Amino acid sequence: MALTEQTRADAVDLAGRYPQSRSALLPMLHLVQSAEGTVTADGIALCADVIGLTTAEVAAVATFYTMYKRHKVGRVHVGVCTNTLCAVLGGDAIWSAVSERLGVGHDEVSADGAVSLERIECQAACTNAPVMTANWEFLDDMDVPRALEVIAKLQAGEEVHSTRGPRIGTFEEVERALAGFPDGLAGEGRNDDKMLAGLTYAKAHGMSAPPGPAASPLAAGAASKTEA
């Protein structure tokens, strides 16, 4: 795939959604990544031209965040969390098993081009540890057999659903959705009951957070100056 006039038109659309066009850079990088499967020099140049930045400024952002790839990934990009909680609950074992099955290590692509693998420090989903993601969709409460079953399906091109609902699209499809263009799958998601457990309990028992401390005179004075 390559960047097209439609890609540029979509980039212009993104830039127009923000009071300052440079605020569109992160979704715009997802857009060019959806078009080419990676952030290329041409993609960086397109972003810079539309937003009015230098290519060096755009490249600095693209190389800072690990979600933007400077080389091709698989049709499905799989992340395995190996941070503390996930690791002790089986994340390290899942990583070893998946890495061995695919024959690849961190940030590498399987020989068939179907799956790339990333060792991730945190997925921000500790209540569902150990966690994997496939194209950033959550696969919660994993273990080695389930992880290997998912990998086998992904390699075979079979449909796999996130444990929170949506089917897992290709890397390019998901990147376009992350850029801000609807994929029609929003209605397929569901609430994560584990993450909502505390809120659910609090509501059922009439609990609420105590009021915050009164603002200090210094803070109140600063606020009044800001309002003025």
Write out pLDDT tens, residues 129-152: 999 999 999 999 999 999 999 999
Report CA-CA distances (Å) from 20 to 31, 100, 126, 178.
18, 46, 35, 19
pTM of the model: 0.82
Q: Residues 104, 116: contact at Cβ < 8 Å?
A: yes
Question: How do residues 34-56 score in pLDDT, each as one tens digit?
Answer: 999 999 999 999 999 999 999 99
pLDDT in tens, 85-123: 999 999 999 999 999 999 999 999 999 999 999 999 888
Q: Tell me: pLDDT of 63 over 60.
A: yes
d(CA 219, CA 225): 10
H/E segment holding residue 118:
strand 115-120
Which helix or strand (DSSP H or E) is residue 9 part of? helix 5-15
- Percent of the chain at pLDDT > 90 equals 71
- Beta bridge partners, 109, equal 116
Question: Domain residues of the chain, as ranges?
Answer: 5-62, 76-169
pLDDT at 56: 97
76-169 sits in which CATH class? alpha beta
Write 140-144 long-range contacts (CB < 8 A, 24+).
140/164, 140/192, 140/194, 142/90, 142/94, 143/90, 143/94, 144/90, 144/93, 144/94, 144/97
Mean pLDDT for 168-178 is 93
Q: Are 64 and 28 a contacting pair, CB within 8 Å?
A: no
Average pLDDT over residues 54-74: 94
Query: How far lies 122's CA from each of 105, 138, 203, in Å?
Result: 18, 12, 29
